[in-house]
Amino acid sequence: MSDVRWQDVFRVALLGTERARLPEPLPPLEGVDGTTLDGLLTGARVGSSPEHGLLAAAGLLWQARRAGRRVGVRPGNAPLALAPPEVVAVLGPRSAEVIDYFTRTESPLLDPWLDAAAARGRVAPYLRLCALLDLGVVDRARRARIFKVLGERGRWVAAQNPAWGWVRAFEEDVIAPDETWRLGLMEERTTVLERLRAVDPARGRALLQTTWSKDGASSRAAFIDALAVGLSEDDEPFLELALDDKRSTVRVAAARLLVRLPASRLVTRMKARLDPLLSLGIDVDAHLPVHLRGKETLFVALPKACDEGMLRDGVLPKVPYYRDGIGERTWWLLQMLRAVPPAHHVRRFRRDSRALVAAASGNEHARHLLDGLYEATVTHGDCDMAVALVDAMLEADSSPASGDVYPALGVSLARLLPPALRSARAQQTLRPPLRNGHPALPLLEGCDFVWSDDLAKAFVRAIRASMRVPVGESEAVRSLLAGAVLRVPASCVDFAKMGWPLTERVPPWTWAHAYDQFLEALRYREEAWAALDDVLPSDDPPSAKNHARSAVFESEAGTDSASMR
Amino acid sequence: MDELRASVTDRRLLDRATQISRADNGSWHQLERAGDLTWARFHGTGEYRVALDLSGPRYRCTCPTATQPCKHALALHLIAVGQPSSLAPAAAPPWVATALEAGDGLAPKNRTPKGPSNARKTRRFEEMDAGARELDRWLTDQVRTGIAALPAHAVDLEALAKRLWDAKARGLARAVTGLIESPPAPGWQERVVERLGRLHLLLEAWRRRDALDEGLVADLATLLGVPQRKDDALDQTPVEDLWDVLGSKVDYSDEQHLVSMRTWLRGRRTDRYALIVQQEYAHDAPSGLPTSFDRTLQEGHAYEADLCFYPSAWPLRAEVRSRGGRRAGIAPPVLRTLAAAHSAFVDALAQQPWLWGIPVFVGGLRVERRDEGFLASDEEGSEVAVELADTYGWNLLAVLGGGPCALLCEWDGRVLHLVRPHSEMRP
């Protein structure tokens, strides 16, 4: 406060009346009629001790200051612009509950539900806009679908909170991304680049090149990652140049993309390095187990060194902690195997995928060879090799005698199988009890489409027959069960409910409740989609707002009963 | 039946009673009941015999405290209401009836209205005088040596607060405890000087209370630490009006399971605000409202009702004496500008200078976000800060979309403390 008299009082109070005194009388106020206050101040000091006089002055000025404060007139600031009217329908309160429930339970249904809302041209309920915007901050993968249900109101409110800057990057017309690109935060720039790449990869790359020389290492790596959107052979020259970067994060990021381009110079170099190390022949070593003797084997010579060229191509010289337990040279080999398309070996050795997998599994380095082959298959999306690998794995799984050389089957490999084969293999392997590590789990998870009735019924039966698997060994099964809510066709919902709960007594420590939740989610799935037809009447905005406003209050008071029913 | 609890406004007393009621270490003996009569023996500092008549409520405890009801009677009441099953049915021993007849109970009908109450009041005021004198000496010392080193004396402050507490000047004790923020934020010195000045004015006014109006003396007594009694309000002349229910707010204090609900009303004919406070310990139901709360005053509706205000120079807190029919909808806000809201605050300060803030129901406000906080601006272009939690504020912004709305707030001359935005109003 600029009030000179308060400054005097404050100074004396700080120093103490032992050391300082209030001026007598206190300086007058300028431009204000302070007669009454002056009278009070003088009255309080006459006949009292300096301490009491000071305290009284402090109290009186405190009162005068808070009562006399002028409610500030906005200093020339333009009033906030109103949110533009919505052009499409706003979802009703039922949808607010749906969003709340899905986000709270981290339901896998949220994404398809948001997509369905966007497809029908709906805007999320105003009261859940902030929750969705927050979700977009932490979850980049969801931004595109969240953006589609924000509507005018969502974009309007996001524009006022820097934390929701990702929306601005989305909103910027892809036609004019340059300003955000030059001035935006790292987050916004990445979003702009990804969006532009999705529609016009060449312009995206050109945009990146405009600032390349000025961007730091971490931004460069992140931007290269963004080039994964719309990646094509056209990006090869630029990425090849990026391999000359002196920072390994940038090189590794570029190499990661180049590996996905089978015609890239990097892949050619990797082939040239790998070919001399691999050879096919008959192993006659008498030390081998009987079942391997005399079979065709893929022989491996480990690389001798990690040279400059390999470093440039993104080969990491040191074994990372998560690959603990393998040697340096094996690690180099693995990285090169990963980079070369499996089809190259098929052509080179004139053997089909199955024969190659069999040959690789008969080697002393079988585990690493298969690891590398697995990763190469996933990286290059080689369906043929994927079928060979999955079948070999499933066979090995059913006859453990053949040795445990195969890596664990993962979803990314399962997804490479043609859908019909995927369903078939999943159904074949669905043998209870299901527990963590069961091969049917990744196959089923890979079946990311609505299942056939047969598969869905087999799944339900297998799950119910696995209830006695201890909770500690069933995490993966339960997570699959949660995801299966999306996959079970509507025609099988009744089948899933039939005969549940089990009449036989299931011990209380099992995970039967997970099945209850599964059924509950199946039921809720229907309700959530029905809520999409429940929109606010656009011709009656006040009542719409009324509802939302009371809801704001409810949530504040902590009485929000946004539970499911 | 909850009259006894409702009559107790001192939260610490209720806390202690709650603790005692849950004591599981064999402190309670002979927990028994017969109809509305309940009695027990409690081993505390000594052995006390507690008797309670729920129909009264009348109670008696042999402990020496002057606080009435004492924590033991209150605890027994909590047990009788909360866990009736822990009371064994039995025939009342003769001391129970004797004790209850000797005891003065609480029900107003059993009490001769003015005489003893005045005597007790005088006794209480004298006790508080001692506390006030001590605080005055302490204030004097502070400004003599200067306040710069005050945060280093936190221990002294605590001891002082405790002595004030013992002198029954609990309001002063709380003021002393809250004198210094912990940790001190930038600019704390100025705020401390303001608070010292405020306390000094309070003590000065208290010293000269004989020259002041009855209402202001009641305010001062409350500020110093005399709990407000429901009877004091019910003794007042009721104010009859059509009361708009503007909004209510529920606060949960997690630790103590204390639920309090405040409901703000405004009289259409008298154009005055009223605040109804209800408090309850909810042991078993941490969520939701206690069943004992009167929830018939529904927000967004108006009621013909007689309200009795607690004595004050600027009466606000009230009790509902009788209530008539309900009418749908409430009147639009009278206040349309922030300047008008502030001038209402200034008028209130002229009546009761120690008011922290006043409720204001202002229409035509637009809420927006600027820098690190939320602002409300009115039709004249004035603007003030609004205090509300971030998540809540953003939701409000999203729902309003920059449009005007009516807000029920508490205004302290500096910041609007939002109670709630108003659903029914389209200003």
Which pLDDT band, with edges at 50, 70 and 90, does B88 fall under? Answer: confident
CB of B395 less than 8 A from some CB of A: yes
DSSP per residue over A521-564, as a string?
Answer: HHHHHHHHHHHTT-B--TT-HHHHHHHHHHHHHHHHHT----S-
DSSP per residue over B261-279, as a string?
Answer: EEEEEEETTT--EEEEEEE
Residue A30 pLDDT: 64
**Beta-carbon separation of B140 and A71 below 8 A:** no
Q: Is the pLDDT assigned to residue B389 strictly greater than 50?
A: yes
Cβ atoms of A237 and A243 closer than 8 Å? no
Beta-carbon pairs below 8 A across chains A and B: 173
A93/chain B closest Cα distance in angstroms: 13
Q: Which of A263, A238, A532 is nearest to A380 (CA)?
A: A263
Give, for A162, the enclosing helix (H) or strand (E).
none
Which pLDDT band, with edges at 50, 70 and 90, does B20 fall under? Answer: confident
* Minimal Cβ distance to A129: which of B398, B422, B423: B398
CA dihedral A411, A415, A421, A423 (to 10 degrees): 60
Backbone angles phi, psi at A384, to 5 degrees: -60, -50
Which pLDDT band, with edges at 50, 70 and 90, does A402 fall under? Answer: low
**Beta-carbon separation of A557 and B204 below 8 A:** no
Q: Is the pLDDT assigned to residue B219 strictly greater than 90?
A: yes
Q: Parallel, antiparallel, or unpaired: how do β-strands B383-387 and B415-421 relate?
A: parallel
**Beta-carbon separation of A49 and B140 below 8 A:** yes
Q: Which tokens in the block code for residue A383?
A: 């369906």
Q: Compute chain A's Rg from CA coordinates.
A: 34
A482/chain B closest Cα distance in angstroms: 29
Which pLDDT band, with edges at 50, 70 and 90, does B64 fall under? Answer: low
Q: How many other β-carbons are positioned within 10 Å of the β-carbon of residue A5?
A: 24
Residue B111 pLDDT: 38
Q: How do residues A10-64 score in pLDDT, each as one tens digit?
A: 999 999 888 888 887 777 766 667 777 888 888 877 778 889 999 999 999 998 8
Q: How do residues B176-198 score in pLDDT, each as one tens digit?
A: 988 887 777 888 889 999 999 99
The rounded distance, in Å, linking the Cα atoms of A70 and A184 is 39
**In percent, how much of chain B has pLDDT > 70?**
88
Give, for A213, the enclosing helix (H) or strand (E).
none
Q: How many other β-carbons are positioned within 10 Å of the β-carbon of residue A418?
A: 11
Which pLDDT band, with edges at 50, 70 and 90, does A73 fall under? Answer: low
- Phi-psi sector, B66: left (phi>0), alpha (psi -120 to 50), beta: alpha
Tell me: cis bond preceding A537? Omega within 30 of 0 counts: no
Q: Give the C-alpha distances (Å, rounded to integers) separating B283 from B26, B32, B413.
A: 21, 22, 38
Q: Which tokens in the block code for residue B52?
A: 């309670």
**Beta-carbon separation of B398 and A160 below 8 A:** no
Residue A74 pLDDT: 62
Q: Which chain B residue is nearest to residue A71, measuring alpha carbons?
A: B339
**Beta-carbon separation of A14 and B148 below 8 A:** yes
* Minimal Cβ distance to A13: which of B193, B382, B389: B193
Cβ atoms of A257 and A227 closer than 8 Å? yes
Q: Is the pLDDT assigned to residue A551 strictly greater than 50?
A: no
**In percent, how much of chain B has pLDDT > 90?**
29
Cβ within 8 Å of residue A307, ≥6 positions away: none
For residue B18, what are the β-bridge partners? none
**Beta-carbon separation of B193 and A154 below 8 A:** no
pTM greater than the 0.80 cutoff: no
The rounded distance, in Å, linking the Cα atoms of A139 and A146 is 10
Please give the mean pLDDT across all residues of chain A: 83
Residue B117 pLDDT: 66
3-state DSSP helix/strand/coil percent for chain B, to nearest 5? 40, 30, 35
**Beta-carbon separation of B197 and A61 below 8 A:** yes
Q: Is the pLDDT assigned to residue B67 strictly greater than 80?
A: no
Which pLDDT band, with edges at 50, 70 and 90, does B115 fall under? Answer: very low
Residue with tokens 């704001």: A552
* Cβ under 8 Å to A: B residues 228-247: 247
CB of B423 less than 8 A from some CB of A: yes
CB of B44 less than 8 A from some CB of A: no
Amino acid letter, residue A515: Y
Mean pLDDT over B216-234 rounds to 90
Q: Parallel, antiparallel, or unpaired: how do β-strands B47-53 and B273-281 relate?
A: unpaired
**Beta-carbon separation of A557 and B201 below 8 A:** no
Contacts of B289 in chain A (CB under 8 A): 559
Contacts of A9 in chain B (CB under 8 A): 193
Cβ within 8 Å of residue A378, ≥6 positions away: A386, A410, A412, A413, A416
Residue B325 pLDDT: 85
Q: Which chain A residue is nearest to residue B287, measuring alpha carbons?
A: A559
Beta strand segments in A206-320, E: 278-282, 296-300
DSSP per residue over A64-76, as a string?
Answer: HHHHHPPPPBP-S
Which pLDDT band, with edges at 50, 70 and 90, does A129 fall under? Answer: very high
For residue B303, what are the β-bridge partners? B243, B326
CB of A121 less than 8 A from some CB of B: no
* Range with lowest mean pLDDT among A66-75, A112-121, A285-294: A285-294
Q: Parallel, antiparallel, or unpaired: how do β-strands B88-89 and B28-34 relate?
A: parallel
Residue A77 pLDDT: 63
Cβ atoms of A227 and A204 closer than 8 Å? yes
Residue A547 pLDDT: 42
Residue A555 pLDDT: 36
Q: Is the pLDDT assigned to residue A561 strictly greater than 60?
A: no
B366/chain A closest Cα distance in angstroms: 9
CB of A546 less than 8 A from some CB of B: yes
Q: Is the pLDDT assigned to residue B281 strictly greater than 90?
A: no
Q: Which tokens in the block code for residue A425?
A: 């293999």
> Apex CA A337: angle with CA A333 and CA A343, to 5°?
155
The rounded distance, in Å, linking the Cα atoms of A327 and A306 is 13
Q: Which of B422, B48, B21, B34 is nearest to B244 (CA)?
A: B422
The 3-state DSSP class for residue B340 equals helix
Q: Which tokens in the block code for residue A200?
A: 């016009």
Residue A565 pLDDT: 28
Q: How do residues A409-437 score in pLDDT, each as one tens digit?
A: 888 899 999 999 999 999 988 888 888 88
Taken in order A181, A184, A189, A193, the sign of the CA dihedral is: negative
Tell me: cis bond preceding A25? Omega within 30 of 0 counts: yes
Q: How many other β-carbons are positioned within 10 Å of the β-carbon of residue A473?
A: 16
Amino acid letter, residue B169: A
Q: Which tokens in the block code for residue B155?
A: 């221990």
CB of A54 less than 8 A from some CB of B: yes
Residue B346 pLDDT: 93
Q: Read off the DSSP letter of residue B316.
A: -
Residue B425 pLDDT: 34
Mean pLDDT over A516-532 rounds to 87
Compare A139 and B107 and report the one with higher pLDDT: A139
Q: Read off the DSSP letter of residue A140.
A: G
Q: Which of A357, A394, A361, A372 is nearest to A323 (CA)?
A: A372
Please give the mean pLDDT across all residues of chain B: 83
Residue A125 pLDDT: 92
CB of B145 less than 8 A from some CB of A: yes
Q: How do residues A202-225 score in pLDDT, each as one tens digit?
A: 988 998 988 888 888 888 998 999
Q: How do residues B396-425 score in pLDDT, each as one tens digit?
A: 899 888 888 889 999 998 899 988 776 533
The rounded distance, in Å, linking the Cα atoms of A126 and B400 is 9
* Cβ under 8 Å to B: A residues 417-456: none
**Beta-carbon separation of B143 and A17 below 8 A:** yes
Q: How do residues A370-390 score in pLDDT, each as one tens digit?
A: 989 999 999 998 999 999 999
Mean pLDDT over A264-292 rounds to 82
CB of A57 less than 8 A from some CB of B: yes
Contacts of A125 in chain B (CB under 8 A): none
Question: How far out from the chain centre does Cα B118 lie?
Answer: 22
Q: Is the pLDDT assigned to residue A399 strictly greater than 80?
A: no
* Range with lowest mean pLDDT among A51-65, B147-161, B346-360: B147-161
Compare A174 and B330 and report the one with higher pLDDT: B330
**Beta-carbon separation of A63 and B353 below 8 A:** yes
**Beta-carbon separation of B395 and A545 below 8 A:** no
Contacts of B399 in chain A (CB under 8 A): 126-127, 545, 548-549, 552
* Minimal Cβ distance to B143: which of A13, A81, A127: A13
Residue A31 pLDDT: 61
Residue A65 pLDDT: 85
Q: Read off the DSSP letter of residue A321.
A: G
**Beta-carbon separation of A553 and B420 below 8 A:** yes
* Minimal Cβ distance to B421: which of A72, A160, A549: A549
Give, for B176, the enclosing helix (H) or strand (E).
helix B170-177
Compare A287 and B80 and report the one with higher pLDDT: B80
Crossing angle of the two packed helices B214-224 and B188-207, in degrees rounded to 10: 130
Residue B424 pLDDT: 37
Which pLDDT band, with edges at 50, 70 and 90, does A560 fall under? Answer: very low
Residue B98 pLDDT: 74
Give, for A352, the enclosing helix (H) or strand (E).
none
Contacts of B383 in chain A (CB under 8 A): 72-74
Alpha helical stretches, state H, A243-382: 248-258, 265-274, 308-312, 328-339, 342-349, 353-361, 366-380
Residue B254 pLDDT: 65
Residue B47 pLDDT: 76
**Beta-carbon separation of A130 and B391 below 8 A:** yes
Q: Which tokens in the block code for residue A24?
A: 């007598």
Residue B342 pLDDT: 93
Q: Is the pLDDT assigned to residue A2 strictly greater than 60?
A: no
Mean pLDDT over B139-163 rounds to 87
The rounded distance, in Å, linking the Cα atoms of B269 and B329 is 15
Q: How do residues A526-545 score in pLDDT, each as one tens digit?
A: 889 889 988 887 644 444 44
Cβ atoms of A27 and A5 closer than 8 Å? yes
